[in-house]
Structure 1
Amino acid sequence: MRGIGEAARASGLSVSALRFYDSAGVLVPAAVDPLTGYRRYTGEQIRAARLIAGLRRVGMPVAEIAQVVRDLSDPFSVRVRLDGHLARLEAGLADARRELLRLHTLLDLEEKLMTRITLPATALSAALDAVLFAAVGATDPLPAGVLVETGDGDVTLVATDRYRIAVATAPATVEGSAARLFLPLTLAEDLRGLGGGDVTVDLTADRVAAQAGDRTVEGKPLDLDFPDWRRLIGPGPESRRVTVDVAELRGLLDGAPVIDREHEGRAYPVSVLAVDPAGSVRFAGADEWAADDGAHVAVNREFLLEALDAGGAGQLVLELDGPVRPLAVRPVGGESHFSLLMPVRH
């Protein structure tokens, strides 16, 4: 048998390492002098120590090294464990390469003051469908378009024509600096028409470039400040939230009184939405609207229909804060998209 110093030289492990593997139960010496504590190793243990030294160099965890040592009498099992560790190392190297590539990309984006958004084309199209209806009729001072804001792991789209506002948020991978750009309506519509798969959208202060497969869209954002839309979206202290079935509400709306109004030389129909004490929704007439009792809100009828279309089928939540605050149309069980309709004053 060999002493610990000789075993260290023969195996490539240091004396302290041999002591560590002894205390860890990985390689217990064949004999220990009870008076001096001197450790002695057999030829088989030297072979095991050489294997331990190699496994240590490739980063195998101590618990797995111990199992390899226990399996030395079964070479097949040892080889299986070695192959498994190699597979983990290769997977870890692939992950490291991807992460380093991502960091290089992030540095490139920050140097160019660019933001990159990646998300499924279906998610981008759905978010645009939920807001574009509110931008179509926009005129000065805010032209027709869509605000794009990036967040931590999502992108928010906002559109308004001053009489209504629509907001939609979609999960996305966001790299680079935070972005807040106002896209012209034509560019937003082109983005909605991109094909399937994932869409990558690169944003800078003077350029928008999107790609999905072999299809590309490019354009320029508008140089203007979008209003602070967030101050409008929170519910008021007295808001009433009512869950409605879209089909039933449409049926009520078809038979509801229509009040004609005119604004800036344009005629439009008005519907007066009210909530009874029992919580049921109905449409009121002109007399109740004139009473201004705070239990209703009057909105442009066509705007309401478009908000219901954007909200989707099934159920929606209507949020009423009285006749002077917007009517909110929100999805049930989430805030991924919603619309606000400005009230029409009597």
Structure 2
Amino acid sequence: MPKDDLMPIGVFAQRTGLTSSALRFYADSGLLPPAEVDPVSGYRYYSADQVVRATVLRRLREIAMPLAGVGAVLDSGADAASRLLDEHVARVVGNAVAAQQKAAVIKSALGHAPGLPIAALKGPVLADAVEQVLTATAHEPGLPELAGLRIEASHEAVTLTATDRYRLSTRTLVPAGPPTQTWAGTVDGDELRVAAAEIRRSPLVQVEAVSHGIWLRVAGREDRHCRLLPGVFPDHRLMLASLGEVTTRVTVPKDLLLRALEEHPGERIGLHVAGHGVKVVSADDKRPGIPLSATATGQALRIWFELTTFYPAVSTAIGPDVMLDLRGHDQPVTIRSADRGDLTTLAMPIKADHAA
């Protein structure tokens, strides 16, 4: 190749973001040999065709991919390369989570303080409650507490609460024995979600608080540690206490309501309550509403929701029938089982003009 079509190593380094020393290393490792080496001076020259390979190589190293993996990606087709990237990222994330958990365990051990027994709960019940309530979490920059589950133990019960500011879900559990301590903390939701799969198979789980988290201790299985999150959890008790009077109440089969929401074509849905009937309606009024076999009492009302807010609130309700307590088109709706009150979810509506 004519020298005029080649770049010296310094120019190629500027084009690709790799240092000259890195280029020499990758040449010696066989990942990016130069297009030509001057036999007298030893100067290395690269072609324009190598810029893409060098840039991809640099980006792969930036995500800590080992040299063997880099070579495999560079020499693979698009589908195989994507698979290799996914596998690498999964390993990195898994290692980071494991390190984070181990660091939290070490921090707890550094205090030399014994754990504080909180309550004993049935494993399957606790696992179900964790998964139900965690549907109301969100990962928001600067608000780590919204990705957590608030655990509050009184002398009578243990309450789990989560909120993403558009939904609030809370469930009250009756312990196997009276809680030994009053305690409250916001626990990492992702770690609890992983722990739920393990504790589901345990008849009894002992919840124990330590300085930076909680332990879920089970007989015959590995104990699970979950970190406490920083940040102040929203004052959900004030929100619940300030709810207005219920003006409309709807009781509807859960499966029928979910099916109507699934068949609804839009991202925003409306509930139209009139007389004793209920319909799932569209914002443009051009599509016929989906009537539901439901019982309705109180004032006529049309209220709008984001599907991503309303659907998970309904889907996690316990039992075959759900009860919707409505307070007006701009007030939170309470969603709960028609015959069980230990799981309650609040969902925020949207303005009518936002539904269009």
- TM-score above 0.5, yes or no: yes
Post-superposition shift, 1:180?
Answer: 0.9
Counterpart of 2:233 in structure 1 is 226
Q: TM-score, normalised by structure 2?
A: 0.57
Unmatched runs of 5 consecutive residues or more in structure 2 = 1-112, 286-298
Is residue 286 of structure 1 aligned with residue 283 of structure 2?
Answer: yes
Contact 2:154–2:181 (CA<8 Å) still a contact in 1? no
- Write the deviation string for residues 76-105 of structure 1: whole angstroms up to 9, x where unpaired: xxxxxxxxxxxxxxxxxxxxxxxxxxxxxx
Contact 2:131–2:193 (CA<8 Å) still a contact in 1? no
Post-superposition shift, 1:323?
Answer: 1.6
Give the distance between the partners of 2:268 and 2:141, measured in 1 at CA: 21
3-state SS in 2 of match to 1:343? coil
3-state SS in 2 of match to 1:167? strand
Counterpart of 2:173 in structure 1 is 170
Change (3 A) 1:161 1:217: same
Q: Could you tell me which amino acid in structure 2 is paired with residue 127 of structure 1?
A: A
Give the distance between the partners of 1:249 and 1:175, measured in 2 at CA: 37
Give the distance between the partners of 2:323 and 2:246, measured in 1 at CA: 16
Post-superposition shift, 1:210?
Answer: 1.1
Counterpart of 2:84 in structure 1 is none
- Write the deviation string for residues 7-48 of structure 1: whole angstroms up to 9, x where unpaired: xxxxxxxxxxxxxxxxxxxxxxxxxxxxxxxxxxxxxxxxxx
3-state SS in 2 of match to 1:149? strand
Contact 1:138–1:162 (CA<8 Å) still a contact in 2? no
Contact 2:333–2:348 (CA<8 Å) still a contact in 1? yes
Is residue 317 of structure 1 aligned with residue 323 of structure 2?
Answer: yes
The count of residues paired between Structure 1 and Structure 2 equals 221
2:121 to 107, 119, 126: 119
3-state SS in 2 of match to 1:130? helix
Contact 2:186–2:228 (CA<8 Å) still a contact in 1? yes
Is residue 191 of structure 1 aligned with residue 198 of structure 2?
Answer: no
Counterpart of 2:163 in structure 1 is 160
Counterpart of 2:137 in structure 1 is 135
1:217 to 217, 220, 224: 224
Give the distance between the partners of 2:139 and 2:226, measured in 1 at CA: 21
Change (3 A) 1:307 1:137: farther
Post-superposition shift, 1:136?
Answer: 4.2
Aligned ranges for residues 319-338 of structure 1 at < 5 Å? 319-338=325-344
Give the distance between the partners of 1:138 and 1:339, measured in 2 at CA: 20
Q: TM-score, normalised by structure 1?
A: 0.58
Q: Could you tell me which amino acid in structure 1 is paired with residue 183 of structure 2?
A: A
Is residue 295 of structure 1 aligned with residue 296 of structure 2?
Answer: no
Contact 2:186–2:229 (CA<8 Å) still a contact in 1? yes
Post-superposition shift, 1:253?
Answer: 2.4
Change (3 A) 1:297 1:205: farther
Give the distance between the partners of 2:272 and 2:117, measured in 1 at CA: 44
Give the distance between the partners of 1:330 and 1:281, measured in 2 at CA: 17
Contact 2:323–2:337 (CA<8 Å) still a contact in 1? yes
Counterpart of 1:95 in structure 2 is none
Q: Could you tell me which amino acid in structure 2 is paired with residue 134 of structure 1?
A: A
Is residue 144 of structure 1 aligned with residue 147 of structure 2?
Answer: yes
Post-superposition shift, 1:216?
Answer: 0.6
Post-superposition shift, 1:255?
Answer: 4.0
Post-superposition shift, 1:342?
Answer: 1.1
- Write the deviation string for residues 138-186 of structure 1: whole angstroms up to 9, x where unpaired: 5532441100001223111011111111111111134443111000112
- Write the deviation string for residues 298-327 of structure 1: whole angstroms up to 9, x where unpaired: 111122221222114510101111121112
3-state SS in 2 of match to 1:286? coil
1:252 to 252, 260, 268: 260
Post-superposition shift, 1:199?
Answer: 0.2
Q: Which has the larger radius of gyration?
A: 1
Between 1:168-177 and 1:318-327, the stretch displaced more is 168-177
Aligned ranges for residues 80-99 of structure 1 at < 5 Å? none
Give the distance between the partners of 2:301 and 2:202, measured in 1 at CA: 46
Give the distance between the partners of 1:276 and 1:257, measured in 2 at CA: 22
Aligned-CA RMSD value: 2.4
Q: Could you tell me which amino acid in structure 2 is paired with residue 219 of structure 1?
A: C
Give the distance between the partners of 1:270 and 1:245, measured in 2 at CA: 21
Aligned ranges for residues 36-55 of structure 1 at < 5 Å? none
Unmatched runs of 5 consecutive residues or more in structure 1 = 1-110, 259-268
Contact 2:318–2:336 (CA<8 Å) still a contact in 1? no
Between 1:145-154 and 1:222-231, the stretch displaced more is 222-231
Contact 2:122–2:202 (CA<8 Å) still a contact in 1? yes
Contact 2:153–2:179 (CA<8 Å) still a contact in 1? no
